[in-house]
Amino acid sequence: MIDIAGSSRQYCTFRLAQYHCGIDVLAVHEILRHQPMTRVPLAPPVVKGLINLRGQIITALDMRTRLSFPPREDGKAPINIVVGTGAGEDEAAAALLVDEIGDVIDIDPASCEPPPDTINGAVRDLIQSVCKLEKGLLLILDVAKATRIE
């Protein structure tokens, strides 16, 4: 949940299917165009492969699969949002595969609410909060939960 007593926070926004989503900008390491991936045999369906990013091996996670959305249109390459999770020795990086990158925006925590009861399944578990914007809603995703592989 977002701290309502705090000042505005910045979020990196992106599109997944018809949804406008965001993650805390402090979790984002970098944004990359589609990268060549090495498939991982017997990996869960959410793991699309491994990316070699300047010598660091990063797991690429398809957010459409994670949220039970239909697959991307043929020929449409995803964008990689490289995020960091954990701290210290537990720090790790993963690439979230999204449809389209948006802007970094400031959000007033007072405009955010807990996810409504009408959201079901995997989506509800990953949504930290829902924020009202001038042009619709922004779903704030929990990076730690989004990068967890089960």
Amino acid at 121: G
pLDDT at 150: 72
Q: 88 pLDDT band (50/70/90 cuts)?
A: low
Q: 1 pLDDT band (50/70/90 cuts)?
A: very low
Nearest one of 29, 10, 11, 20 to 100, comparing CA atoms: 20
Residue 57 has pLDDT above 80, yes or no: yes
Q: 30 pLDDT band (50/70/90 cuts)?
A: very high
Domain ranges of the chain: 9-146
pLDDT at 2: 46
Cα-to-chain-centroid distance, residue 52:
20
User: How many Cβ atoms from other residues are within 10 Å of residue 125's Cβ?
Assistant: 15
Residues 6+ apart with CB under 8 A from 8: 106, 107, 108, 109
pLDDT in tens, 93-147: 999 999 999 999 999 888 899 988 887 777 788 899 999 988 889 999 999 888 8
pLDDT at 89: 67
For the domain made up of 9-146, give the CATH fold. OB fold (Dihydrolipoamide Acetyltransferase, E2P) (2.40.50)
